[in-house]
Structure 1
Amino acid sequence: MTQLHAQPYDLSATGFYFESAEEFDGKAKANRNDYGEQVEEYEIQFIDGDTIDCDLAKAIGINQANIAQYFDAVDAWNEDEKQRVIIAVGECGYRFEPNTKPDDFEVDIYQTETLRELAEQFADEGLFGDIPDRLQFYLDYDAIARDLGMDYAEIEVAGERLIYRCG
């Protein structure tokens, strides 16, 4: 369950907690400041939920305009899709639009912790061609990792280290 808080910019008003877009709409319409006027603008704050959903809220810049889309994403997207959007929007400069879907972004994500591990993985997969067994011990994986660092970057999402490349 994901819980958010709507903190009014109006200093004479009180904020409220909510767990869905519908609950936000209802409470926002009923919320009044000390002068009886309806409160119109809120800062939306992540309070409780899965770490990856917190990271998603930060990456997309959760606000009043995208609350419904955020809750839809929390419920519908799997962890890989959330990671893709977090990296694409938070790191690669893509925009989070009203109809954004994780497949909209060209981002390569690898479940490795370091660029050196990625270099070793690429060598094992034959990305550098067929390397004879007797020569594999002479490969400088640290140098390959430094080269990969020109196009790839490391990130931590929800406590998991990942390597990514923006398309």
Structure 2
Amino acid sequence: MPQLFAQPYDLSATGFFFDSVETFDKAANALRNDFGGPVEEFEIQFIDGKDIDCELASAIGLTQANFATYFERCETWEDWEKTLVIIAVGECSYSFDADTTPDQYDIDIYHVDSLRAFAEQLVDDGILGDVPENIRPYFDYDAFARDLSIEYTEITVAGDRYVYRAS
């Protein structure tokens, strides 16, 4: 589970680390500022955890209002689902809320190193029809990759390279 930090907006109070909703609630309810008043508003910061969970926190704009949903998604979603949401919300301006599911986004994602590798994969898959093996050495994959860049974008998520297109 990721470790987060609750930084109070009240400068006379000291923040705390937490890794569950229960830990946050307990610490937040007990926290008082220098004048004895309760502290109610916090900036939530990602401190430690998997790279993909860090990128998910950044993409969704981790806040006091959504960290409980974030914890639940970190625990239940697989990495490919997190990657889809990171791209959809962080790059394509889709929204994220408690009802968000990764399959609601209309995005095509391919786990390839570059647009050129994607172009090669498409030719191998026959997207351009049957390109005979003796012609393939003469095929301009770089030009095809440049054409693909009109609709597709390269991205790195948690160290893995992808090509995606929002439909």
Which TM-score band applies after superposition, normalised by the shorter structure? over 0.9
Shift of 1:133: 2.0
Shift of 1:56: 0.4
Secondary structure of the residue aligned to 1:108 is strand
Measure the CA separation in 1 of the matches of 2:75 and 2:17.
18
Alignment of 1:28-67 (within 5 A): 28-67=28-67
- Aligned match of 2:21: 21
Q: TM-score, normalised by structure 1?
A: 0.97
Shift of 1:106: 1.2
**Structure 2, unaligned stretches of length 5 or more?**
none
Shift of 1:121: 0.2
Shift of 1:132: 1.8
Secondary structure of the residue aligned to 2:11 is coil
- Aligned match of 2:130: 130
| Paired amino acid for 2:128 | F
Q: RMSD between aligned alpha carbons?
A: 0.9
Measure the CA separation in 1 of the matches of 2:34 and 2:148.
57
- Aligned match of 1:105: 105
1:120-153: CA deviation from partner (whole Å, max 9, x where unpaired): 0000000111112222122100000001111111
Q: TM-score, normalised by structure 2?
A: 0.97
Measure the CA separation in 1 of the matches of 2:18 and 2:86.
23
1:29-85: CA deviation from partner (whole Å, max 9, x where unpaired): 211111111111111000111010000000000001111100000000001000000
Secondary structure of the residue aligned to 1:109 is strand
Measure the CA separation in 1 of the matches of 2:157 and 2:106.
18
- Aligned match of 1:3: 3
**Structure 1, unaligned stretches of length 5 or more?**
none
Shift of 1:158: 0.6
- Aligned match of 2:95: 95
Measure the CA separation in 2 of the matches of 1:55 and 1:35.
37
